[in-house]
Amino acid sequence: MDSDLPPDPYAALGVPKNAEAATIKSTYRKLVLKCHPDKVTDESLKLQKQDEFHKIQSAYELIGDEDKRAVYD
């Protein structure tokens, strides 16, 4: 597995383990809008938001796909 994976992808996205795919997807989209490095205007926060963005991306890649999620769970 990739070393950039968050310890718990559900916690990274802020969803429960029994969340439906639609809930995971909508939560992911909201978080991406908040944390996308191109949306952050403050240079001091840009690096922090970039790190958060990558964690969210990794978590969604793992649990956003039903097959990968089944293997993870």
Residue range 6-53, pLDDT digits in tens: 478 999 999 999 999 999 999 999 999 888 888 888 888 888 888 899
- What's the predicted TM-score (pTM) here? 0.80
- SS3 at position 3: coil
Can you give the length of the chain in residues? Answer: 73
Tokens for 2? 């990739």
For 49, the token pair is 């938001």
Q: Please, which pLDDT band fits residue 64 given cuts at 50, 70 and 90?
A: very high
Q: Outline where 1-73 has alpha helix (H).
A: 9-13, 21-35, 43-63, 66-72
Q: Are 10 and 56 in contact (CB under 8 A)?
A: no
The domains found in the chain, sorted by start residue, are: 18-72 (1.10.287)
Residue 3 is predicted with a pLDDT of 46
